[in-house]
């Protein structure tokens, strides 16, 4: 049965990267059609639960087709909500695709389609190689906003800038709602005038308290992944080259790119999440008792199984978990908490990419 047009617009208002973030946040399933008077055929991206699984642009298919569509600066888009039956051929995480697409566009490896190539190229340099990506969030549920606070422009502080966040993004840690002694691991600096909405922490804490211990443990584990990925980026920035030695003596439990549908929880021992890069295997986070890994159907972390491997210690013991049980609890969350977790997973994905890209530079390997 044909689907309905959920929304449509102009690429000059929302570019492809912003569209993919929006659809990812809302978990959309359907077909994103992109047309331009400068192209003879319509570009198509097939999206399932917010993640692109296939694409077509003329003779190009899959990830190559998707990357080529980042050059469509002038045109229209239309998202049609419908069931997708196509096979998943794109396995990269959503944010990885966005960052790589913008990088290829910046490096001139993607053809720009628009009214004035020179002007379009200037506008297209949204994220130059090595710059910090901008993460935006969803529309805000103001029933959770109890106050607003303004932050005004000042000189950026700190020694390493990791992320830039924009409209709809979240600041703070969800673990702070679960533990009273949580300490922030990064500084946030305003660039320009920033208006923040203060969320009702009591309301969200009460909602989290109603969930199972398993789900709350899962949420805490996500926060720890981001914390460790951030620390890794800092270590690499400081010139650390021996990070890969952490994997010595560990065996591969899940291979990057493996079609793994199971979910596990660590009972004892430990494991590492590690990304395979041109510079070698880079460990991202250390998992220990209570942590989860494997297939998480409702969040795209840019980690295992498609974008990272799992290395296990000799004494690792696991429990097999039912992903559907976590899915059912997740589905009951308010839109605000769902959006916070989606933003958290996006931050994990982007921070991981930044850390790995930095590692390539430290060891002297050029990106392809």
pLDDT at 335: 86
pLDDT at 294: 94
pLDDT at 239: 72
- pLDDT, block means (10 residues), the chain with 368 residues: 77 86 84 91 93 94 95 91 92 85 84 62 43 54 43 47 64 68 60 70 86 91 90 79 82 92 94 90 92 91 92 95 92 88 87 85 64
Distances (CA, A) of 187 to 133, 135, 162, 230, 284: 17, 16, 10, 12, 21
Structure tokens at 333: 């969350």
pLDDT at 120: 46
pLDDT at 186: 62
DSSP 27-69: T--EEEEEE-TT-SS-EEEEEETTEEEEEEETTEEHHHHHHHG
pLDDT at 365: 61
pLDDT at 67: 95
What ranges do the domains of the chain cover?
Answer: 4-124, 134-363
pLDDT at 165: 64
Structure tokens at 367: 């990106």
Question: Under CATH, to which class is 134-363 assigned?
Answer: mainly beta
Distance CA 271, CA 77 (A): 43
pLDDT at 164: 66
Query: What angle, 0 to 180 degrees and rounded to 10, lies between the N-to-C axes of helices 213-237 and 335-363?
Result: 30
Span 151-179, pLDDT tens digits? 444 434 445 666 666 666 666 677 767 66
């Amino acid at each position: 049965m044909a689907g309905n047009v959920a929304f449509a617009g102009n690429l000059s208002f929302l570019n492809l990267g912003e569209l993919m973030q929006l659809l990812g946040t809302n978990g959309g399933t359907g077909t994103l059609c992109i047309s331009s008077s400068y192209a003879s055929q319509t570009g198509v991206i097939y999206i399932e639960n917010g993640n692109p699984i296939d694409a077509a642009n003329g003779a190009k298919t899959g990830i190559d087709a998707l990357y080529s569509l980042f050059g469509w600066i002038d045109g229209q888009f239309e998202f049609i909500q419908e069931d997708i039956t196509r096979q998943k051929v794109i396995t990269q995480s959503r944010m990885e695709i966005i960052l790589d697409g913008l990088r290829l566009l910046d490096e001139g490896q993607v053809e720009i389609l628009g009214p004035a190539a020179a002007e379009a190229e200037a506008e297209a340099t949204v994220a130059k190689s090595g710059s910090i990506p901008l993460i935006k969030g969803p529309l805000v549920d103001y029933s959770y906003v109890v106050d607003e606070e303004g932050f005004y422009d000042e000189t950026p502080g700190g020694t390493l800038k990791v992320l830039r966040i924009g409209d709809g993004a979240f600041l703070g840690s969800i673990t702070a709602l679960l533990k009273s002694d949580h300490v922030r691991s990064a500084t946030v600096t305003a660039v320009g005038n920033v208006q923040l909405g203060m969320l009702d922490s009591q309301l969200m804490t009460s909602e989290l308290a109603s969930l199972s211990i398993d789900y709350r443990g899962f949420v805490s584990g996500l926060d720890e992944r981001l914390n460790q990925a951030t620390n890794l980026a800092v270590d690499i920035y400081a010139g650390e080259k021996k990070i890969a030695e952490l994997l010595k003596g560990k065996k591969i439990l899940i291979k990057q790119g493996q079609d793994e549908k199971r979910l596990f929880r660590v009972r004892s021992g430990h494991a590492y999440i590690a990304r395979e890069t041109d510079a070698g295997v880079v460990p991202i986070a250390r998992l220990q008792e209570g942590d989860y890994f494997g297939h998480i159907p409702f969040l795209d972390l840019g980690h295992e199984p498609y974008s990272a491997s799992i290395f296990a210690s000799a004494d690792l013991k696991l429990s097999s978990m039912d992903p559907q049980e976590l899915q059912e609890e997740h589905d009951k969350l308010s839109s605000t908490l769902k959006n916070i977790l989606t933003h958290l997973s996006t931050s994990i994905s982007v921070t991981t990419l930044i850390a790995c890209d930095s590692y390539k530079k430290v060891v002297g390997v050029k990106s392809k």
